[in-house]
Amino acid sequence: MIKEAVQSYLQKNNLKAIDLKAVLFDMDGVLYDSMPYHARAWKEIADKYNLISSPEDFYLMEGRTGGATIDILYHRTFGHGATEEQKQLIYDEKAALFSSYNEEAVMPGAFEMLRKVKDAGMQAILVTGSGQYSLIDKLNGHFPGIFTIEKMVTAYDVKYGKPHPEPYLMGLEKAGVKAHEAIVVENAPMGVEAAVAAGIFTIAVNTGPLSDSVLLDAGAGLLYPDMKSLINDWNRLLAGLQSTNNG
């Protein structure tokens, strides 16, 4: 299955091989088991402002900037977008709620996965829609020695959030690699779409309540049920990727 997925990617992108030098990681739902708290905070704020939503919406829209999410809810409810002031007010309230709920639980297997990447001599790049000011301190506390501020893409770096390819294109730029020299690990359909649009081979880990088909339909080349499953398959995955360089 790995060989077939890689060959399909190469054919679609008119490439001969993947020369892996960097792995680009989403954060919420990949490195942290935080999406239930995001979804809860979003739903409570949406209800407070009478914005039409369902709990599933916030898993489907995961990866978008906060302002983009609020705009979508405003258009759905009122037929027009939110003002910049409304977006800032609502997002600040949502962020405060999330912080009060979030337990900062590291996703099982996440640190081991990051260490495998670093031990293999590859770069680990963070590509997140998050706008937390203390993000690098948080990451250094949970994943020491993995990330640097220069090799992170956050909400403050981009004009367009996922599913636009800009975040992952910027991740490639910060890593100093081309699309065929990286892979992406994502858990959200918007993130998968962004990575695929950036021309990168994309692996989905389905750590949330969405069906596998949602992530596969978004373009994921491979899908695992969790990070531990990806770790268990890591050596086989590397071998499958490296085989493309060996003809």
Do residues 109 and 89 share a domain?
no
Q: Give pLDDT, residue 246.
A: 60
Same domain flag for 169 and 205: yes
Query: Is residue 70 located within the same domain as residue 93?
Result: yes
pLDDT of residue 163: 94
* CB count in 10 Å sphere of residue 149: 11
Reduce the DSSP state of residue 93 to 3 states and report it: helix
Does one domain contain both 54 and 152?
Answer: no
- For residue 85, the enclosing domain spans 35-101
10 and 126 share one domain: yes
Q: Tens-of-pLDDT digits for all 247 residues of the chain? A: 898 999 999 999 999 999 999 999 999 999 999 999 999 999 999 999 999 999 999 999 998 888 889 999 999 999 999 999 999 999 999 999 998 998 889 999 999 999 999 999 999 999 998 876 677 888 999 999 999 989 999 888 888 889 999 999 999 999 999 999 999 999 999 999 999 999 999 999 999 999 999 999 999 999 999 999 999 999 999 988 877 766 5
Residue 236 and residue 180 share a domain: yes
Name the domain boundary from 74, 101, 128.
Answer: 101
Q: Are residues 96 and 176 in the same domain?
A: no
Beta bridge partners of 127: 153
Residue of 204, 195, 210 lying closest to 224 (CA atoms): 204
For residue range 24-38, list pLDDT tens digits in order.
Answer: 999 999 999 999 999
- Verify that 39 and 132 share a domain, yes or no: no
pLDDT score of 156: 84
Query: Domain check: are 47 and 167 in the same one?
Result: no
Residue 123 and residue 214 in one domain:
yes
Q: What is the CATH number of the domain that holds 50?
A: 1.10.150.240
Tell me the pLDDT tens digit for each residue of 39-51: 999 999 999 999 9
49, 79, 101 - which closes a domain = 101
Please give the tally of structural domains in the chain.
2
Nearest to 82 by CA among 60, 66, 67: 67
Lookup: tokens for 147: 């990330």
Show which of 47, 73, 101 is a domain's final residue. Answer: 101
- Paired tokens of 17: 């091989």
Rounded to two decimals, the pTM is 0.92
Residues 178 and 206: their CA atoms lie apart, in Å, by 26
Give the burial class of 93: count Cβ atoms within 10 A of its Cβ; 0-12 exposed, 13-18 middle, 19 or more buried.
Answer: middle
Tell me the C-alpha distance between 231 and 170, whole Å.
Answer: 26
| Dist CA 31 CA 242 (whole Å) | 25
Whether residue 129 contacts residue 162, with contact meaning beta carbons closer than 8 Å, is answered with: yes
Verify that 114 and 65 share a domain, yes or no: no
CB atoms within 10 A of CB 54: 11
What pLDDT was estimated at residue 241?
A: 86
CATH number at residue 224: 3.40.50.1000
Torsion over CA: 5, 7, 8, 9 (sign): positive
The answer on 64 and 138 residing in a single domain is: no
Q: Please name which of 203, 78, 68, 188 lies closest in space to residue 128, comparing C-alpha atoms.
A: 188
